[in-house]
Amino acid sequence: MMLHVPEVLSSTQVREMRAALDATSWIDGRETVGEQGAQVKRNQQLPESSPIGRELASTVLAALARHSLFFSAALPSRFVPPLFNRYEGGEHYGVHVDGAVRALPGSGQQLRTDLSCTLFLCDPEDYYGGELEVIDTYGSHEVKLPAGDLILYPASSLHRVHPVTRGARVCSFFWLQSMVRNDQQRSMLFELDQSIQKLRGRLGECEETVALTGHYHNLLRLWAEV
């Protein structure tokens, strides 16, 4: 499932975040990937040890914790702390797939990457190119969202970032392990939850919405890994 999650960050939060990022130093993005990724990756990235990056990552995670649509779709269990990248002057990232497992910095633990997230920190008209293209069994999907919006998609998907030919594309990106590993099961739970919310808004709390809510939680109980 691929999902556009709107308004994760407010315009004020985006503006403050961009000011902090524009004032800091970036490194070559190839320093943070393996041999295969380094062959196709041409961008800039904030160092994982950056104090500013850690502070901004906390802001992103706090915003996601308040976003009910994101939680419904992702059912997050654990996150890799958000990172930040920048593309300009023709920089791009060729077709690749994200690694299945990521180390959690400073913890000695590892995380299964079920879902990938890209949070846009600039508006589409601020730069040319830079589309995120996700390739799955249904074809190719190009994404270029307003500042503050996020795209959520399976980490198993092939994807790439097209060259940025004018301006700069600045984003936060990260991965998460879901409580529900299977993408089809997770999608079914999301659709059921959204239908329950719509019925509750139309009918109020009634026998039918209570019964459907019970089915939702029983399925989550059956499929969740916690």
* Per-residue confidence in pLDDT tens, the chain, 226 aa: 999 999 999 999 999 999 999 999 999 998 777 677 778 999 999 999 999 999 999 999 999 999 999 999 999 999 999 999 999 999 999 999 999 999 998 888 999 999 999 999 999 999 999 999 999 888 999 999 999 999 999 999 999 999 999 999 999 999 999 999 999 999 999 999 999 999 999 999 999 999 999 999 999 999 999 8
For 114, phi then psi, to 5°, come to: -80, -40
Do 87 and 169 touch, CB atoms closer than 8 A?
yes
Q: Is the dihedral of CA 202, 207, 208, 212 positive or negative?
A: positive
User: How many structural domains comprise the chain?
Assistant: 2
User: 122 with 202, same domain?
Assistant: no
Question: What's the pLDDT at 135?
Answer: 95
Q: What is the CATH number for 191? A: 4.10.860
Q: What is the pLDDT of residue 165?
A: 97
Burial class, 62, CB count within 10 angstroms (exposed 0-12 / middle 13-18 / buried 19+): exposed
Same domain, 211 and 105: no
Maximum pairwise Cα distance, the chain? 58
CA 188, 194, 198, 199 torsion-angle sign:
positive
Say if residue 162 is in the same domain as residue 214.
no
* In a shared domain, residues 171 and 188: no
129 and 26 share one domain: yes
pLDDT at position 33? 72
- Residue 215 backbone phi and psi in degrees, to 5: -65, -40
pLDDT given for residue 108 in this prediction: 86
Amino acid at 182: N
In this structure, what token pair is assigned to residue 94? 């060729």
- pLDDT of 220 reads 98
Are residues 122 and 194 both part of a single domain? no
Is residue 60 domain-shared with residue 116, that is, in the same domain? yes
pLDDT at 26: 96
Give residue 60's domain range: 3-178
pLDDT, one tens digit per residue, over 84-96 is: 999 999 999 999 9
Produce one character per residue of 48-61: b if its CB has 16 or more CB atoms within 10 Å, e if not. Answer: bebebbeebbebbe
Query: Are 159 and 188 contained in the same domain?
Result: no
